[in-house]
Amino acid sequence: MEAGDAAPVVGPILRSFLPSQGSQFRMEAGDKVFDAAARTQRLVTTVNDLLKINPPKAQQMLQDPEVRQAMALNRHYQAAARQIAAISREKIRIQNDRSLPLAAKRQRMRDLYLSEIQILKTMGQVVDTEQEQLP
């Protein structure tokens, strides 16, 4: 048996341990959205803290267009992060629901997957646009 003969058997086995393209997209887009949500939330917290201890410094920060843009987008990033977390919780609930027929589980999981992909795709585009606008 030559080395090339084993490749067709090994290939599918190895591929089964790798994330699918959909899973890879979800991981990368999820990281992008959650990173943006964390970054903008830190900025909001910093500005709010400064408003309490050094209002002029906070006002100075708020004059920066990048800061204003991040502050405006924070609400959207946080909402997307909450929606993705809710979808994850719902997936777990469906998987553990023994009363739900398998066909219904598949359909609900598919619907949740499509919703998650749409949120990630849309918010990923927002993050990309935001990054493109930075100097």
pLDDT digits (tens, 9 = 90+) for 79-132: 998 999 999 999 999 999 999 999 999 999 999 999 999 999 899 888 888 878
> How high is the pLDDT of residue 131?
78
> How high is the pLDDT of residue 34?
87
HEC string of the chain equals CCHHHHHHHHHHHHHHCCCCHHHHHHHHHHHHHHHHHHHHHHHHHHHHHHHHHCHHHHHHHHCCHHHHHHHHHHHHHHHHHHHHHHHHHHHHHHHHCCCCCHHHHHHHHHHHHHHHHHHHHHHHHHHHHHHHHCC
Tell me the mean pLDDT in the region 39-48. 92
Residue 2 above 90 pLDDT? no
Q: pLDDT tens digits for 59-71?
A: 999 999 888 888 8
How does the average pLDDT of the chain come out, rounded?
A: 83
